[in-house]
């Protein structure tokens, strides 16, 4: 729950996202009351399972319940709980009832309502022990304006903030494990994503490009519709190989990536650049190397996985469903012309001298002019 004058903005964003996500599963009424979003089917043909699963991937939702609506009457509430939660109650060994009385005209207070419903359920399911501290199941009763609602314990939602509430950012999306995770993590903070992928055909294959697009498709489950910018990177990498010292290949390549990402950010109204860099994981991700690569970018560079080790990143990748795609054996542009002995502690003046032979602006503009934009929807 948010307090303050901007709370309505957050709720409006969240409701917009919820409506869009459930629209493919039928006609639903979506509205918010007292920090709760209600998603109610308007037709018998609505796919409740699909809508329920979709709600668990909407950023800004902390928990999700499937609830039974009933009349605001103790007997009706008890009967709804007995029938709706019968299988769950039969499988449990202990329970308690928690009630919320948002409608203050209801004659019983929350404690009294819990006692009434709890006593009736104990009579109906005598094998259940009452445990108010560590119950196996909690029966939730909410008396709201329109109706009373009965449900079991909520399942976790995606959490975070509604998409777009924190602005927009360009995210560098490769075919590896880290960048999809960093994209997911920053989107969870309410940031709308503009993915940018650098494609080095023929050194990287069309299958490698499709792999990245599939990663983006998986992310749309959480991040909503996105437009992937596929930037041709072959000419830049070949010029770097011809003109620059080998030990600086990767650093100069990444400086070009940051320049292009910043230009796309300006085109799209983005306020930051997101990368999947993890401190010390590879030679180009030492503190000195990060300083050198970000020096060409005036925007904030956000690195959500900077302090995570590989196992932590893999756990998130498995959770969001990108891991199996990320490990498919297709190369990406970062593996092209990899130096045998890269500089791990570079100095900015040395790198600037190393790339001085390149016509940086012409190369950047040529890549931007040939960028392919691919729209994806969830």
The pLDDT tens digits of the residues spanning 186-208 come to 999 999 999 999 999 998 899 99
Q: Quick one: how far is CA 65 from the chain centroid?
A: 20
Whole-number pLDDT of residue 336: 67
Whole-number pLDDT of residue 7: 80
Nearest-angstrom CA–CA distance, 230 and 236: 14
The phi and psi torsions of 58 (rounded to 5 degrees) equal -90, 120
CB contact at 8 A, 255 and 301: no
How many CB atoms neighbour CB 345 within 10 A?
10
In terms of Cα–Cα distance, which of 87, 146, 148 is closest to 116?
148
- Residue carrying the six token digits 């605001």: 72
Whole-number pLDDT of residue 118: 96
Whole-number pLDDT of residue 334: 66
The pLDDT tens digits of the residues spanning 78-100 come to 999 999 999 999 999 999 999 99
Whole-number pLDDT of residue 284: 79
Whole-number pLDDT of residue 340: 78
In terms of Cα–Cα distance, which of 244, 247, 242, 240 is closest to 341?
247
Nearest-angstrom CA–CA distance, 258 and 252: 10
Whole-number pLDDT of residue 4: 67
Helices 206-223 and 310-320: crossing angle, nearest 10°?
70
Whole-number pLDDT of residue 6: 78
Residue ranges of the chain whose pLDDT lies below 50: none
Whole-number pLDDT of residue 339: 75
**Which domains, and CATH codes, for the chain?**
7-61 (no CATH), 68-153 (3.30.2130.30), 167-376 (3.40.50.620)
Nearest-angstrom CA–CA distance, 197 and 332: 9
Two structure tokens written together for 200: 């080095």
Residues paired with 33 in a beta bridge:
36
Nearest-angstrom CA–CA distance, 99 and 327: 47
CB neighbour class for 134 (10 Å; exposed up to 12, middle 13-18, buried from 19): exposed
């Amino acid at each position: 729950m948010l307090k303050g004058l901007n709370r309505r903005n957050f709720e409006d964003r969240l409701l917009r996202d919820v409506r869009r996500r459930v629209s493919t599963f039928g006609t639903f009424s979506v509205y918010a009351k007292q920090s709760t979003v209600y998603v109610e089917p308007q037709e018998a043909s609505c796919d409740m399972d699909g809508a329920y699963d979709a709600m668990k991937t909407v950023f800004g939702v902390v928990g999700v319940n499937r609830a039974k609506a009933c009349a605001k009457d103790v007997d009706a509430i008890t009967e709804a709980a007995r029938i709706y939660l019968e299988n769950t109650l039969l499988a449990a060994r202990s329970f308690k009832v928690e009630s919320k009385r948002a409608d203050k005209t209801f004659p019983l207070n929350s404690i009294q309502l819990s006692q009434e419903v709890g006593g009736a359920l104990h009579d109906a399911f005598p094998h259940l022990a009452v445990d108010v501290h560590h119950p196996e199941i909690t029966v939730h009763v909410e008396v709201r304006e329109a109706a009373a609602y009965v449900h079991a314990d909520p399942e976790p939602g995606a959490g975070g903030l509604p998409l777009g509430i924190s602005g927009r950012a360009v995210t560098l999306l490769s075919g590896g494990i880290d960048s999809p995770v960093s994209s997911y993590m920053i989107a969870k903070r309410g940031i709308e994503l503009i993915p940018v992928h650098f494609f080095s055909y023929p050194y990287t294959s069309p299958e490698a490009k499709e792999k990245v697009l599939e990663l983006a498709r998986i992310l749309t489950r959480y991040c909503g519709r996105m437009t992937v910018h596929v930037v041709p990177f072959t000419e830049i990498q070949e010029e770097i190989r011809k003109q620059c010292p080998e030990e600086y290949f990767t650093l100069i390549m990444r400086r070009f990536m940051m320049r292009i990402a910043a230009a796309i950010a300006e085109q799209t109204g983005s306020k930051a650049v997101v990368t999947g860099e993890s401190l010390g994981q590879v030679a180009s991700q030492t503190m000195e190397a990060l300083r050198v690569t970000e020096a060409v970018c005036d925007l904030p560079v956000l690195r959500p996985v900077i302090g995570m080790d590989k196992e932590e990143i893999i756990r998130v990748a498995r959770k969001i469903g990108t891991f199996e795609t990320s490990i498919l054996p297709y190369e990406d542009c970062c593996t092209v012309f990899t130096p045998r002995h890269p500089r791990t502690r570079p100095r900015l003046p040395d790198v600037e001298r190393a790339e001085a032979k390149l016509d940086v602006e012409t190369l950047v503009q040529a890549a931007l002019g040939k960028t392919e934009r691919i729209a994806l929807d969830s």
